[in-house]
A and B are shown apart, each in its own frame.
Chain A
Amino acid sequence: MLHSTAIIFTSFAYLGLLFAIAYYADQRADAGRSVINSPYVYSLSLAVYATAWTFYGSVGRAASDGVGFLPIYIGPTLIILLWWVVMRKILRIAKRNRITSLADFIASRYGKSAMLGGIVTVIAVIGILPYISLQLKAVSNSFSILVQYPGIVMPAESGALPIREDTALWVAMILAAFTIVFGTRHLDAAEHHQGMVAAIAFESLVKLLAFLAVGAFVTFGIYDGFGDLFARAAAEPSMRAMMTPFEGVAGGYANWAWLTILSMMAIMFLPRQFQVAVVENVDENHLKKAVWLFPFYMLAINVFVLPIAFGGLLRFPGGTVDADTFVLTLPMAEKQELLALLVFIGGLSAATGMVIVETIALSTMVCNDLLMPVLLRMRSLRLNERRDLTGLLLGIRRGAIVLILLLGYLYFRLAGEAYALVSIGLISFAAVAQFAPAMLGGIFWKGGTRRGALYGLIAGFGVWLYTLLLPALARSGWLPIGLLEHGPFGIELLRPLQLFGLAGLDQITHAMIWSMLANIGAYVAVSLSISPGADEHRQASLFVDVFSHTGEASGARFWRGTASAPELYHLLARFIGSEPATAAFDEFWRARGLRWPGDQLVADADLVHYVEVQLAGAIGAASARIMVASVAKEEVLTVDEVRAILDEASQVVVYSHRLEQKSRELEAATDELREANERLQELDRLKDDFVSTVTHELRTPLTSIRAFTEILLDDPDIHVEQRKKFLGILAKEAERLTRLINQVLDLAKIESGNAEWAETRVDMREVIADTLAAMDQLFREKAVRVEARLPDTVSPVTADLDRMIQVMLNLLSNAVKFSEGAKPLIEIALAEGDGCLRIDVRDNGCGIRPEDHEVVFSKFHQVGDALTGKPRGSGLGLHISRRIVERFGGRMWVESRLGSGACFSFTLPTGAGP
Chain B
Amino acid sequence: MSAKILIAEDEPNIAEAVAFLLRRAGHEVHVASDGDEALGMVEDCRPDLVLLDVMLPRKSGYEVCSEIRGRADWRHVKIIMLSARGRDAEVTKGLSLGADLYVTKPFSTRDLIDQVDALLERS
Contact = CB atoms under 8 A, between A and B. Distances in A.
A707 B24 contact: no
Interface stretch (B39-47, B92-100, B107-115): B107-115
- Best-buried of B10, B58, B85, B105 by chain A (most CB within 10 Å): B105
Interface in B66-123: 84-85, 87, 104-110
Contact of A703 (B20, B107, B110): B107
Contacts of A702: 105-106
B11 A699 contact: no
B84 A696 contact: yes
Interface in A695-716: 695-697, 699-700, 702-708, 710-711, 714-715
Contacts of B10: 869-870
A708 B10 CA distance: 17
A692 interface: yes
A707 B109 contact: yes
Contacts of B110: 710, 714
Contacts of A697: 84
A417 interface: no
A700 B11 contact: yes
A781 interface: no
A707 B13 CA distance: 9
A865 interface: yes
B1 interface: no
A866 B58 contact: yes
Given A711-B20, A865-B57, A869-B10, A703 B84 contact: yes
Given A699-B84, A711-B21, A869-B57, A704 B14 contact: yes
B72 to A, nearest CB: 29
A402 B105 CA distance: 116
B78 to A, nearest CB: 20
Nearest to A707: B17
Nearest to A862: B57
Given A708-B17, A715-B24, A870-B11, A703 B33 contact: no
A218 B55 CA distance: 107
A700 B20 contact: no
Q: Is the interface of B mostly helix, strand, loop or mixed?
A: loop
A710 B85 CA distance: 22
A696 B85 contact: yes
B18 interface: yes
B48 interface: no
B41 to A, nearest CB: 16
A732 B11 CA distance: 13
A870 B84 CA distance: 15
Contacts of A732: 13
B108 A704 contact: no
Contacts of A705: 106
A346 to B, nearest CB: 96
Contacts of B13: 704, 708, 729, 732-733
A695 B16 contact: no
B89 to A, nearest CB: 11
B38 to A, nearest CB: 13
A692 B17 contact: no
B16 A699 contact: no
Interface in B3-54: 10-11, 13-14, 16-18, 20-21, 24, 33-34
B14 A703 contact: yes
A725 to B, nearest CB: 9
Contacts of A710: 108-110
Nearest to A872: B11
B14 A707 contact: yes
Given A703-B105, A703-B106, A695 B84 contact: yes
B86 to A, nearest CB: 8
Contacts of A699: 84, 104-106
Contacts of A865: 57
Contacts of B11: 700, 703-704, 870
Contacts of B55: 696
B20 to A, nearest CB: 6
A714 B113 CA distance: 13
A291 B109 CA distance: 98
A734 to B, nearest CB: 12
Contacts of B109: 706-707, 710-711, 714
Nearest to B58: A866
A718 B104 CA distance: 27
Contacts of A708: 13, 17
Contacts of A696: 55, 84-85
Contacts of B21: 707, 711
Nearest to B109: A710
Nearest to A697: B84
B23 to A, nearest CB: 11
A710 B33 CA distance: 23
A699 B82 CA distance: 12
Nearest to B107: A703
A707 to B, nearest CB: 4
A702 B84 CA distance: 10
Given A707-B106, A715-B24, A732-B13, 17 more contacts: A692-B87, A699-B104, A699-B105, A699-B106, A700-B84, A700-B105, A703-B14, A703-B106, A703-B107, A704-B13, A707-B14, A707-B21, A711-B17, A711-B20, A714-B109, A729-B16, A733-B13
22 contacts: A692-B85, A696-B55, A699-B84, A699-B104, A700-B11, A700-B84, A702-B106, A703-B84, A703-B105, A706-B106, A706-B107, A707-B14, A707-B106, A707-B109, A710-B110, A711-B20, A711-B21, A715-B24, A867-B57, A869-B10, A869-B57, A870-B11
List 4 tightest A-B contacts by C-beta distance, closest first: A707-B17, A699-B84, A703-B105, A703-B106
